């Protein structure tokens, strides 16, 4: 059975992670994190992971 996180997750302890390629870090530090459909796009963004799972 899956663990029920509803009692332990809250705004102070959200446990939300975003894993990115190390080559993307300078762009993120300069521009912040943006969702995939944002108009702010890095021209040389390095995609990681399987797109079918994301």
How many residues comprise the chain? 54
User: Distance (Å, rounded) from C-alpha 45 to C-alpha 54?
Assistant: 16
| Residue-level pLDDT at 54 | 64
CB atoms within 10 A of CB 14: 8
| Residue-level pLDDT at 2 | 81
Residue 15 predicted with pLDDT over 80: no
Stronger pLDDT, 29 or 52, i.e. the higher one: 29
At residue 33, the 3 state secondary structure works out as: coil
6 Cβ contact partners less than 8 Å away, ≥ 6 residues apart: none
| Residue-level pLDDT at 12 | 81
Report pTM: 0.62
Residue with the two structure tokens 């939300």: 16
């Amino acid at each position: 059975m899956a663990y029920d996180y509803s009692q332990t997750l809250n705004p102070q302890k959200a446990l939300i992670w975003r894993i990115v390629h190390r080559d993307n870090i300078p762009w993120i530090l300069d521009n912040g994190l943006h969702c995939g459909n944002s108009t702010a796009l890095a021209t040389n963004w390095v995609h990681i992971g399987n797109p079918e799972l994301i």
